[in-house]
Amino acid sequence: MSISVEQDAAADAYASFFERLPTAAMIVDRDCTVLAANAALRRQVERRGGHGIRPPCTLAQIFAGGLPQICSDLRAVASSGGRLNLAVVGDAAASAGAHGSPTPSGPTPPSPKTGGAIPGGSTHDSPNLGHAASGEPVPGGPIPADPVAGGATPGSTLPSAPIPGGPAPVSRGAGGLTFRVTPARRTKAGPVRYMLVQDTARPSTQAFADLNLKMRDANEEAARQRRLYHGLQETYRELEQFSYAAAHDLKAPLRNISLLLGFLKEDHGADLPPPALEMVEEAGGAARRLQSLIDALLGHARLGTEALNRVPTDLDEMLDGVAAHLAANLAEAGGQLCRAGRLGVVMADRKLLNQLLENLVGNALKYCAPDRPPRITVSYELPEGGRATLRIRDNGIGFDPAESETIFTPFQRLHSKPGVEGSGIGLATCRNICNRHGWTLGASGVPGEGATFSISGLEPAPDA
């Protein structure tokens, strides 16, 4: 027997508890197909009717009554929180307990006042059903017709006694099995599965019913959270695609502007007065900066679409490559790129990790202090049996600690340092790279002293 639940981690324990429940229980779908039946129900059906249960099967193959009527009763009871009484097919004792002989097939004659039993032999709740005019319960056996009290007609089924504090049960035989019905799984259209647990007033029965309700609520909440998550993912993908398309479409007209400015300077530069030439130069510079910004936007948007290729990556080799690529910038600033000891080997996408380190080291060079040469130190920490942390520390102009999150906002600049070029999206790209790897990128700073960027959650490579 298996039970399909939304929370895979709880499935085995749930199924085991269901199977070992001392009272009869089953799981039924909206079409009254029995999906699972526990050992207690299988024993009772075998003992009462002399036949077994082999899910999937319909309720009408196990219990007396037509399938459409049983399904109707099941849904009615589930919506009212009541109980359903079902007689096992072949159980003569259940039929005799109801009216002294097996329930005759075919529709039950209507009662003058209440309309009598519902076709198919099932009697729905009614204030007077099963009671005499005096209000006293009628003992088991046939009930004569009573036009005043609305009693059952001869040959109809005696309904089970109402449960104190709850709705009266829908009955299919007084000697049958009485089940408490609760929806086990819901959708927007309504319940798609029901849990039927025999009502024997045992504490374990109620505990299981309560557990089923809690699990149903947890499943519904988990499904709601998944829908929200998938919706946010889809919105994020659409925004990335829009950014990529918009940036890509801007490149062609911008390229034409740059070409026209170049032709103007080349063909008519000698005829232009100096102020006009100066404006042409400024326009060309603005076009180049806009081109750089568009390229940065394209790179940022492309990050969310490219698949990660995690491979063992030596951080020492990666940092050597970054130092070689930024050698001219380091020499111009008179700076140093150092490492505090041996760096480790981690699982990462080499291309993205290289971009991350270049952005962070390049950012430290851009915002160096005017009164001292830049010094950038890279360190690696790996606790016993844990995840690693990589830190990039500089002695630059720093920033206010209150701005430690603001600096990762696209196009947000804390400093308007003269001569500093850039798109304003570099640190946002760095955080995006870390998020894609499942890492955490944080920053701390002290104005006038420097800043530290920490990448935590790096996975050490196996056998590194």
- Residues forming CATH 1.10.287 domain(s) in the chain: 214-305
Predicted confidence at residue 242, as pLDDT, reads: 75
Domain with CATH 3.30.450.20 in the chain: 8-201
Residue 381: in which H helix or E strand, if any? Answer: strand 375-381
Question: What does the pLDDT average to over 349-372?
Answer: 90
Tens of pLDDT, residue by residue over 134-151, are 333 333 333 333 333 333
User: Pick from 65, 78, 80, 166: which is nearest to 121 by CA?
Assistant: 65
Q: Return the structure tokens found at 396.
A: 């630059």
For 82, 88, 149, 159, 373, the CA distances from 127, given in Å and listed in that order, are 14, 26, 10, 11, 93
Listed in order, the ranges of the chain carrying CATH 3.30.565.10 are: 307-464
Lowest pLDDT segment from 52-66, 227-241, 409-423: 409-423
421, pLDDT greater than 70: no
314 alpha-carbon distance from chain centroid: 35
Name every residue whose Cβ is closer than 8 Å to that of residue 39 and which is 6 or more positions away in sequence: 19, 20
The chain-wide mean pLDDT, for the chain, equals 75
Among 33-47, 95-109, 192-206, which stretch is predicted with the lowest mean pLDDT? Answer: 95-109
Average pLDDT over every residue of 70-89: 86
Q: Domain 214-305 carries which CATH code? A: 1.10.287
Least confidently predicted of 153-157, 219-223, 276-280, 303-307? 153-157
Q: CATH assignment of 307-464?
A: 3.30.565.10
Q: So what's the pLDDT on residue 308?
A: 82
* Alpha carbon separation from 255 to 248, 250, 267, 344, 388 (Å, rounded): 11, 9, 18, 43, 44
pLDDT band at 412 (very low <50, low <70, confident <90, very high): low
pLDDT on residue 118: 33
438 vs 126, residue with greater confidence: 438
Looking at the predicted structure, is the pLDDT value of residue 166 above 50?
no
- Residue 256 predicted with pLDDT over 50: yes
CATH 3.30.450.20 fits 8-201, yes or no: yes
111 pLDDT more than 70: no
Distance of CA 268 to the CA centre of its chain: 63
Measured CA to CA, the distance from residue 320 to residue 331 in angstroms comes to: 15
| Segment among 33-47, 123-137, 181-195, 284-298 with least mean pLDDT | 123-137
Across 15-29, 116-130, 359-373, 393-407, least confident range: 116-130
**Which one-letter DSSP state was computed for residue 146?**
-
pLDDT tens across 5-41, in order?
444 555 666 778 888 888 899 999 989 999 999 999 9
Token duo for residue 182: 């609760």
436, 356 in Cβ contact below 8 A?
A: no
Q: Is the dihedral of CA 7, 9, 15, 20 positive or negative?
A: negative
What is the mean predicted confidence (pLDDT) over 119-135? 33
Torsion of CA 189, 190, 195, 198, to 10 degrees: -150
